[in-house]
Structures are given as C-alpha cells and as structure tokens.
Chains A and B, each alone.
Chain A
Amino acid sequence: MIMSLLSGEPTNSLEWTIFLAGKYSAMFLQGTYLTLYTAVIGTIVGFVLGYLIGVIQDMTINPGDNVVKKILVRVLKWISSVYVEVFRDTPMIVQAMIIYYGLRQANVEMTPVFAGILVTVLNTGAYMAETVRAGIGSIDIGQREGAFAMGMSPMKTMFYVVLPQAFKNIIPEMANTFLTNLKMTSVLNVIAVQELFMAAKTAGGNYYKYFESYLVIALIYFVLCFVFNKLFILIEKRMQGSEDYALAVEYMDNQ
C-alpha cells in the first residue's frame, strides 16, 4: 500500500483518501482556516447582535415616558421582530445568494468571505435573539424586582443582574450554535467562499474521487467540532464557580 502511494498510483478508497489529503493539503488547510475564520467571527458578532436584539425585545415603556422614547422603543422592537422572523424563516444558503448577488447588483462590492461572514452574523443573530429571550425568561422575576426596588433602571438591571445569569444558562445553547455555524459555513461555497466544502469539491473534481475527497473534510469537520465541544464543556464547568467560600475572619466576632 505504501509502495503504491509512493509510486503515485492509489488503488483503493483508503489510499485515494490519503493521496488527496496529501496532494491538496495546502488547499484543505486554507479551507479549514477560512471555515474557522468565518465561523468564529460570524458567531461572535452574531452573538453580540443576538444579545442586542434579545434585550430590545425585552424593553418596556411606561405610560408616562416621553414620546421620543416611546416611538424609539416601538420602532426598534418592530424592526427586530421583522428581522428575526425573516432570517429564521429562510434557509441560510438562500440568504447567502440573495445578500451576495443582491448587494452586487446594487453596486456594493464585497469579497465572498466578507459576504459569508455577514450572512453568518445575520443568521446567528436571529437565532441568538430567541435564545437570549428564553435565557432572560429563565431568570426568576424576583431577581429584577430586587434591583428595581432599590432604584436600578431596567437597563442597568438587565446588564448587571439578569444577563450575567442568563448568559450562564444559555452557554450550552451558544456552544450548539457555534458548532452549527462551523458546519453551516459549508453552504457558503455557493458564493465562492474557499472554505472546506469548496476545497473538497475542487480536489475531488480533479480526479473524479468525490467520496474520498469528502471523507477528508468530514474528518476535519469532526475533529474541529469534537475539540470545540470539549472546550465548551470545560468553559461551562469553569463558569459554575466554586461551591466553597472563605469566612471573613476579620469579622468573625460578628455572628
């Protein structure tokens, strides 16, 4: 088997897989890099967008508030609910086509990678908004009332009391979203982002060995997701914090 590999004549699927992985290693590496790059930036910015939308959707107005605030909050809420609805109800692959070609028709020039990240951000934001909303809802109302009762504004309460707790509760869902994104970047090949799927298509096409070529990237996707999954579990455990506390001995006489 080794011999046949050296002579450049793969004879079975396993050999072809190894052959393709070796021959196109630079392309696969570049694809891995772009996949990671798009997924990481897209997810992080998407999370920020999702938190923003989630918080907007939670805003309330008082009857006595001034008109500008009332209108602003209503408009923001309307825009965010339309956005969430549109992006959750259409496939990402279609969004990619429409955004990339649509903006090009409008003479907005952008690289495929930038368009790819934009699509990932918008898609993630819409899903995250719902996750954040659920996360906020999972926090006992008493937590807010405790802060309100001492004069904290709804925004400060959200920022210091509710979101830190909601964040902890939705870490598993955030990990899920990232892993989904890592794999969903594969659809971005339709707008010519040179990510892993594109690399496999190109490599496989040169030798008509698609099965073997996609096997290579399946393995890469698997390893990436596996590693990140373990990483997230570690982070989640870290966030649990210690179950222990040190008594402040300097005040021990005060029981």
Chain B
Amino acid sequence: MSEKILSIKDLGKSFGNHEVLRRIDIEVNKGEVICIVGSSGSGKSTLLRCINRLEKQTRGQIFYHDKEVRDVQKEINDYRSKVGMVFQSFNLFNNMTVLENCMLCTRKVLHISKEEAFDRAITHLKEVGMAPYINAKPSMLSGGQKQRVAIARALCMNPEILLFDEPTSALDPEMVGEVLAVMKELATTGLTMIIVTHEMAFARDVSTRTIFMDNGYVAEDAAPEILFSNPKNARTREFLSRYLAG
C-alpha cells in the first residue's frame, strides 16, 4: 500500500470509570477516505477528538509519519496544523467575517503573507461555493453555509489529513446534501479524510475503507463494498439492518 501517514496504537480513553475507547489500532495511508460508522456512544467522536488531541488519550500513542506526537504544546500545535478538523457545530469564529475566519490561522500559525492567505481563502471558498459571502459574519449564514465555510477554513491550512466529526448531524436534510456534495468533491482530489458519519449511503459511496465501531472497539474495518453487503461481525449486521430498515 502507499505511504503511511498516521498510526494509532493501542489507544484508550476513559472518562472517570467509563471506558469510552479500548485498544484502538488504526493505520491511515495517504489518499484514503475512511468513514467511521456506529451507534451513538460507541466512541466514534471521541476517537476523532483524540486523533486531533482535543481529548487526551489515557492509553496508547499516536504516530504521525512514524514520529510520536508527544504531550508538548509545540508538538501538538505543529501536528494539528497538518491534521485539520471539521466539527458538527461548525465552530466558526463568531467575532470574524468569513474571510477573516479563513485567514486567521494561515496568518498566525503558518505565517504566510497576507496576499497568499487571501488567495488561499478565496480559492477554497470558491471550491465550496461560498466566495460571495466573504464579508458575512457566521451568525448571518445558514447551517449548511457555515459548514461549507468551516471546510474551506480547514482546507486553507493545506492539511495532510482532514477529520470530519459528524459534519452533517446538525443540519436539516436539504443542507445535508450541499455539504455532502462538497465532501464528495474533496474525496476525488486525493485528500486523506477520516469521516465520522451517520450517512450510510454516503459512507458506502465515498469511502475507500469503512470502520464500524462498537462499544469502544473497532468491530470491523473493511472496504465499504464488503462491510455494507457482507459484514462479518454480528453487531455490524445488526446495526446496518436497523439502519437500512429504519
């Protein structure tokens, strides 16, 4: 297989006595589009947040290009600038316009020139169809528009991997479509993506690999055509049949 970017080894996370993640081992290669599915509470979002270091794992390590990301602020910052994240609740900076949202981190973290930051912002805002709204504040946009801006903002950093934490769960059905379309488009560009989602059809069509999580474990990790049509794990079968029936 191609170049390995990320490897997660024996990752565990507990909140008090509650063990949310148990012994997670995942390797992510360049160009993969990985969808993580599973019922609520199975640890999908926590896993993603651990990957971005927004949660501190209680066990295990994360290696980025075979180098461990240690618990040092500087290393975490450098690592995060390469591993972007898109949130369920968008998390656009409310005190800034769309353009400023897209330029802040490229200016302050990557220290690129104002002109270059502007060019990048416009390029990626065009990609998601939000360029006309550069002067708007987040509060003036619809949910789908906000999420598209958030995706553009993350792309401005030229990330090596982009993490999506249920990007469409806070949106109404009409807006889900516009965000998924943008993500589908992105998947074809060769960007490495890890997507936590409840959109099964999207996962089946777009992912190159699908992971089913259950009760803090990776229950099944397979190509989507196998996982969706011929799952090996009993829990996967149960979950999918409920999903497709309901």
Contact = CB atoms under 8 A, between A and B. Distances in A.
A105 interface: no
A154 interface: yes
Interface in B69-91: 70-73, 75-82, 84-85, 87, 89-91
A64 B87 contact: no
Interface stretch (B16-24, B129-137, B197-205): B129-137
Nearest to B52: A149
B81 A151 contact: yes
A123 B243 CA distance: 61
A149 B150 CA distance: 12
A22 to B, nearest CB: 51
Interface in A118-149: 142-143, 145-149
A210 B90 CA distance: 63
Nearest to A249: B132
A65, A146, A251, A254 interface centre (most CB from chain B within 10 Å): A146
Given A146-B93, A149-B80, A160 B108 contact: yes
A65 B122 CA distance: 37
Given A151-B109, A251-B134, A245 B71 contact: no
Interface string B96-137: 010000001100110000000000001001100111111111
Q: Which of A66, A150, A152 has its CB near the most chain B CB atoms (within 10 A)?
A: A150
B195 interface: no
A161 B138 CA distance: 14
A245 B130 CA distance: 14
B229 interface: no
A218 B119 CA distance: 59
A254 B131 contact: yes
Contact of A151 (B77, B89, B125, B135): B77
Given A64-B72, A254-B129, A150 B81 contact: yes
Contact of A251 (B78, B81, B126, B150): B126
Contact of B70 (A64, A165, A245, A246): A64
Contacts of B2: none
A253 to B, nearest CB: 9
A156 B135 contact: no
Interface string A38-72: 00000000000000000000000011111000000
Given A63-B71, A64-B72, A142-B87, A165 B135 contact: no
A65 B73 contact: yes
A147 B72 contact: no
A160 B104 contact: yes
Interface string B156-171: 0100000000000000
A152 B108 contact: yes
A66 B131 CA distance: 43
Interface of A: 62-66, 142-143, 145-154, 156, 160-161, 164-165, 168, 241, 243, 245-249, 251-252, 254-255
Interface of B: 52, 54, 70-73, 75-82, 84-85, 87, 89-95, 97, 104-105, 108-109, 122, 125-126, 129-137, 140, 150, 153-154, 157
Given A65-B73, A147-B104, A149-B91, 6 more contacts: A62-B72, A64-B70, A145-B87, A149-B52, A248-B131, A248-B134
28 contacts: A62-B72, A64-B71, A142-B90, A143-B91, A146-B87, A146-B90, A146-B93, A147-B93, A147-B105, A149-B84, A149-B91, A150-B81, A151-B78, A151-B105, A151-B109, A151-B157, A154-B73, A160-B104, A161-B104, A245-B133, A245-B140, A247-B132, A248-B133, A251-B131, A251-B132, A251-B134, A252-B132, A254-B130
